[in-house]
Amino acid sequence: MTSYSIPAYCDGQLVTLQQVLGLVDSQILRWQLTELEGITAPGCGLDSVELESAARSTPGGLPFSNQALAALADQLLQVINCELFGYRVQGADRTEAAVVVIRAMDSSEWSIVVDASSIAVNDSSPLLQFSGGE
């Protein structure tokens, strides 16, 4: 597993979930959202409190396709706390263990853990220059 730690602000700009998702080749992943606390775009129609509650109360987390998670990320202005598990999908089945784990902690840092033998990392992402990768 390869770990990356990215500050919530890079070059004075807030790092978004959309940018973090761009670090991995997520086209072949299904996601489970187990925690989310964030601020949504005004008028987007998304109730962030309801989403937060559903993520915490759903056993195993809320399931998202890659496309649905990308749409959600587009509606989030800021992520305060978040926990996402990405599973590789082959047909109708998913891997047993998460190949990507993304966490946002208290609007201060993103933590991304990737099974680099199972999923590609976007080495050209500008976020990696700020990473304390291991």
pLDDT along the chain (134 residues), means of 10: 88 90 85 93 86 90 93 92 89 73 93 88 77 62
In the numeric block, which tokens belong to residue 24? 């991995």
Q: What is the pLDDT of residue 105?
A: 93
pLDDT tens digits, one per residue of 50-73: 888 999 999 989 999 999 999 999
Q: What is the pLDDT of residue 28?
A: 78
In the numeric block, which tokens belong to residue 55? 């993520």
pLDDT tens digits, one per residue of 2-15: 888 989 888 888 99
Q: What is the pTM of this model?
A: 0.88
What is the SS3 assignment for 61?
coil
In the numeric block, which tokens belong to residue 13? 């700009």
Tell me the domain boundaries of the chain. Answer: 2-122
- Neighbouring residues of 21: CB distance < 8 A, sequence distance ≥ 6: 69, 70, 73, 102
Q: What is the pLDDT of residue 33?
A: 95
- Neighbouring residues of 74: CB distance < 8 A, sequence distance ≥ 6: 18
Give percent helix, percent strand, percent coil of the chain, each to the nearest 5: 25, 45, 35
